[in-house]
């Protein structure tokens, strides 16, 4: 049985998506592996990414949110962060911060996110967590 043009396009898209996801993981491991190597007190990195359902009449476009970091409990970073207005305690030891004030508090907050085109291959409506051992978790994320 021959494939219709539409079936052929669907297969091409599925193959492309699978390849993008697989190659994205390698780029992510390399990028964030370097972050873990430079910051031994960081034991986890995570972010959410999704396309909003509503955007005040504007186009809803896929986006990647700020990086969040989990520090070793022995580092004392979480306790020190409570006194900083540029760093936010998200609970369970996770911290978020951006801008030069956060980067002065701890340089990991100056870490660049990867390009959205690379990350989109991992899914839409997900929270991605990378652990120091480079284990990656991709969980559904409800942003409503």
Average pLDDT, the chain: 89
d(CA 40, CA 107): 12
Provide mean pLDDT across the span 1-17: 85
Write the DSSP assignment of 118-143 as a string of letters.
HHGGG-SSEEEEEETT--EEEEE---
Q: Torsion-angle region of residue 113: left (phi > 0), alpha (psi -120 to 50) or beta?
A: beta
- Name the band, by pLDDT with cuts 50, 70 and 90, for residue 56: confident
CA distances, 88 to each of 20, 25, 81, 102, 143 (Å): 33, 28, 7, 9, 19
| pLDDT score for 117 | 83
- Name the band, by pLDDT with cuts 50, 70 and 90, for residue 1: low
Provide mean pLDDT across the span 17-44: 90
CB 106 within 8 A of CB 77: yes
What is the model's pTM? 0.84
Provide mean pLDDT across the span 118-140: 93
| pLDDT score for 127 | 96
Domain ranges in the chain?
5-140
Model pLDDT for residues 68-120, shown as the tens digit of each residue: 999 998 888 888 887 788 899 898 889 999 888 898 999 999 998 898 888 98
């Amino acid at each position: 049985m021959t494939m219709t043009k539409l079936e052929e396009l669907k297969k091409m898209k599925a193959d492309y998506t699978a390849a993008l996801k697989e190659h994205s993981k390698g780029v992510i491991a390399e990028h964030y592996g370097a972050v873990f190597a430079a910051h031994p007190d960081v034991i986890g990195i995570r972010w959410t990414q999704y396309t909003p359902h509503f955007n005040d009449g504007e186009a809803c476009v896929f986006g990647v949110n700020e990086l969040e970091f989990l520090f070793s409990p022995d580092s004392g970073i979480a306790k020190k962060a409570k006194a900083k207005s540029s760093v936010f305690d998200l609970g369970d030891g996770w911290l978020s911060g951006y801008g030069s004030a956060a980067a002065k508090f701890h340089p990991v907050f100056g870490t660049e996110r990867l390009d959205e085109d690379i990350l989109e291959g991992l899914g839409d409506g997900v929270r991605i967590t990378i652990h120091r051992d480079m284990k990656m978790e991709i969980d559904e994320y409800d942003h409503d």
